[in-house]
Amino acid sequence: MLFIFVNETTGWTTSDCTTVLKTIKVAIWTDLSPTPAGVGDIANIYFISEDKGFVSGFNYLQLSEDGSQTMEYVDGFTPAQSSFQLQD
């Protein structure tokens, strides 16, 4: 399970590769499901601030600019034949 924190209290993780969870108090997690139908498993999650972050799978990339309340598909994203991971 991958945990991404942007500060001491705000973070995200995935559960069973299909659910995105968010916390703003560390001990209390909110389920942000459902994952959009047909997108497949979540492979990676990466947030660069409390508002802006990405969720990716084998054939999709989504962007949130409101703390993951909404996720939009990234226009122009072309699935690769291999995976990648964003690094700090």
Report residue 56 CA to chain centroid gap.
7
Indicate the domain borders of the chain: 3-73
pLDDT by residue, tens only, the chain of 88 residues? 778 899 999 998 887 777 888 998 878 888 876 555 556 688 888 899 999 999 888 788 889 999 888 888 888 777 766 666 677 6
Provide the whole-model pTM. 0.71
Distance between CA atoms of residues 31 and 75, nearest Å: 26
The domain 3-73 is placed in CATH, from the list 2.40.10, 1.10.3470, 1.10.8, 1.10.10, at 2.40.10
User: Which phi and psi angles does 62 have, rounded to 5°?
Assistant: -120, 150
CA distances to 42, 51, 54, 70, 83 from 8, in Å: 24, 15, 20, 23, 29
Please, which residues have CB within 8 angstroms of residue 86's CB and are 6 or more apart in sequence?
44, 46, 54
